[in-house]
Amino acid sequence: MNNLNEKEKMLSGEIYDASDKHLIKERNIAKDLCFEYNHLQPSKLKERKALIKKLFGKTGKMFHIEQPFYCDYGYNIEIGENFYTNVNVVILDCAKVTFGDNVMIAPNCGFYTAGHPFDVEQRNKALEYAYPITVGNNVWIGAGCSILPGVTIGDNTVIGAGSVVTKDIPANVLAVGNPCKVIREL
């Protein structure tokens, strides 16, 4: 019998109950921090950086996250050095989301670790699963991209604008489309 609590199930990739009161409490903490971050004056760079360091599981020294920014928990997000996101980036970090060094993310991108079962009875009970997302070093993700659960994007890769990344993308390539596919090597 499974003795894991809902958070442990979430972090291990099992089906879990997203309406669990402890998970709701943790999401509300992160949402409050995102609200505070998004309502700081853009020129308050020191305060903005301090809030992200409080929110994220790990940061490099050099990073910049444009407002608005949204996430579910924050503590499952790890960013490397020289990390940059433009406006309106969403990271649903029910599982670990790891970004390497020198990652650039254009506006309106989403990183979605969470998914819902195809079984309607499970889905209607607020059950879901979460699989980690990993983005390598020196990656550029174009505007309006969606990165789905369980995806790894290799080093030195460019994901073209509007792409929906449903499967792993190797290193050193240009990949584009819905679903995202490798177009050529870089």
Token duo for residue 33? 């921090």
Nearest Cα residue to 49 out of 33, 28, 29: 33
The residues that bridge with 98 in the sheet, in sequence order, are 78, 134
The residues that bridge with 63 in the sheet, in sequence order, are 83
Alpha carbons 75 and 91: distance in angstroms, whole number: 11
Which residue among 22, 39, 64, 116 is the active-site one?
Answer: 116
Alpha carbons 42 and 25: distance in angstroms, whole number: 28
Asked if 116 is an active-site residue, the reply is: yes
Count of other CB atoms within 10 angstroms of residue 115:
16
Nearest Cα residue to 100 out of 164, 159, 157, 179: 157
C-alpha gyration radius of the chain = 16
Token duo for residue 60? 């490099």
Catalytic residues: 116
